[in-house]
């Protein structure tokens, strides 16, 4: 199960709509962006972030930043490695 972590610190469980892995369009819609970047977390999961988040959404995501150990802005999706291709 993946999580959508928003800047307001709400966490929602999400699943891929069409199968077992997320496609790019789903991630764009969930995060609210046009380009994504993958951040590898220490626990082996992936954090999908807005690649241009520092320019487009200067709202800090404190929950995601704590997980990643670096500054993260905007909404993010955290998923298992096998949920992204």
44 and 78 Cβ atoms separated by less than 8 Å: no
41 and 81 Cβ atoms separated by less than 8 Å: no
Domain that holds residue 74: 2-83
Q: Residue 8: count other Cβ atoms within 10 Å of its Cβ.
A: 9
In tens, the pLDDT along 60-75 reads 999 999 999 999 999 9
The number of folded domains in the chain is 1
- This prediction's pTM: 0.92
Confidence check: pLDDT of 84 > 80: yes
In tens, the pLDDT along 22-78 reads 999 999 999 999 999 999 999 999 999 999 887 876 799 999 999 999 999 999 999
- What is the model's pLDDT at position 57? 62
């Amino acid at each position: 199960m993946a999580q959508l972590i928003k800047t307001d610190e709400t966490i929602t469980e999400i699943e891929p709509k069409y199968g077992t892995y997320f496609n790019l369009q789903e991630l764009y819609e969930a995060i609210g962006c046009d380009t994504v970047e993958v951040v590898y977390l220490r626990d082996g999961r992936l954090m999908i972030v807005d690649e241009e988040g520092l320019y487009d959404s200067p709202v800090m995501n404190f929950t995601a930043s704590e997980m990643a150990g670096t500054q993260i802005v905007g909404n993010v999706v955290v998923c298992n490695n096998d949920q992204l291709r």
